[in-house]
Every structure is written in C-alpha cells, then in structure tokens.
Amino acid sequence: MSASVTTTLNDVNMNAVAGLAGKIQQQPEVADTKWNARVNWKGGFRSEATIRDFGPMASDEPGALGGTDTGPNPVEQVLAALGHCLAVGYAANATAAGIELKDLSIELEGDLDLHTFLGLAPQGNAGYNNISVRVSIDSDAPEDDIRAIHERVVGTSPVGHTLSRAVPLKIDLV
C-alpha cells in the first residue's frame, strides 16, 4: 500500500482534482451539480449576494447610473466571473501538464448599449454585445504548450460556455 502524497504546483491540489475526476468516472451522476446564490436588496441599487458560507458580496451601480458606487455592478461581476473561471482553468490545466505559472493576468472588457436597460429601446439587447478577453501568462514553458493549455481552457470554461450559448432562464415571482 503506497502512501498518499499531496501534489501541488501553482498552489493547486491535483490529488483533490484527480480524486473528483476519478469519482465521476466511477459514478457519472456525481458530475450533475447545483450551485446557489441568494441576493438581498439593501436599498437603492445596492444588494448583497451570499454564496455558501462566504460573507456578503456587495453590488451597486455607479453614480452615473443612479447608484452610490459602493460595489461593482452586475455586468462588471459577469466579466469578473468569466475571468475567475478562466483563471481556474489555466491553473488547473497548467498544473496537470506540470507547467509552473509565474504570473497570470486576465483583462476583460464588454460593450453594452444602455438603450434597452433604460427603456429607450425595449426590443433591443440589454446585455453585452460582445466581450473581449486578453490573457497574459508568464511561464518558462514552451509557447506551444501554453497555446495548447489556452485552447483547452477556452474549450472547457463553464462560465465561458454559459455566456456563449442560449441558456434556459426561468424567473418566477413568488
């Protein structure tokens, strides 16, 4: 019987990731997960999201949109969610490939037309018209290896997939 050794690179515990992947291979139903958040309005355009046992995350609108600018607004949080998801993907895939990351930064930008949100074009698109992402990776790994990781991350990002396709959305008033 061999001793279990925790393998970390880039501060990623690959034994935990591999253990989950192995469990899903044995029991595919384990892959079907649900995620939850609760948002409570705090007055004006302020609200707080609570996720699992973490403290509340603030949201507000900038002053130009009538808010008090006490936190990022929801569309900024969408960009951040995509950036966070991509960062997880790069860390996991680089680590699995044995590649050390010295630095990783992700810049995201989205173009959003406020006409529909403000009721000035009710039939338009209130969401982003496009999102662009710039990823910078500092590593001693060969460029071809970094490009391969990049393609894998782009192809497997849960938030990227969510944003790039129509997702059924049901909003009930209770």
Whichever domain contains 100, its CATH number is 3.30.300.20
Query: 85-142 pLDDT, tens per residue?
Result: 999 999 999 999 999 999 999 999 999 999 999 999 989 999 999 999 999 999 999 9
In a domain, 106, yes or no: yes
**Three state DSSP letters for the chain:** CCCCCCCEECCEEHHHHHHHHHHHHHCHHHHCCCCCCEEEEEECCEEEEECCCCCCEEECCCHHHCCCCCCCCHHHHHHHHHHHHHHHHHHHHHHHCCCCCCEEEEEEEEEECCCCCCCCCCCCCCCEEEEEEEEEEECCCCHHHHHHHHHHHHHHCHHHHHHCCCCCCCCCCC
In a domain, 71, yes or no: yes
In a domain, 53, yes or no: yes
Partners of 39 in beta bridges: 49
* Contact present, 22 and 13 (Cβ < 8 Å): no
Query: 15-58 pLDDT, tens per residue?
Result: 898 999 999 999 999 999 999 999 999 999 999 999 999 999 99
pLDDT above 50 for 151: yes
Structural domain boundaries, residue 119 = 8-163
In a domain, 127, yes or no: yes
Our count of domains for the chain comes to 1
In a domain, 3, yes or no: no
In a domain, 119, yes or no: yes
In a domain, 174, yes or no: no
In a domain, 146, yes or no: yes
Q: What pTM does this model have? A: 0.92
The pLDDT confidence band at residue 5, using thresholds 50, 70 and 90, is: very low
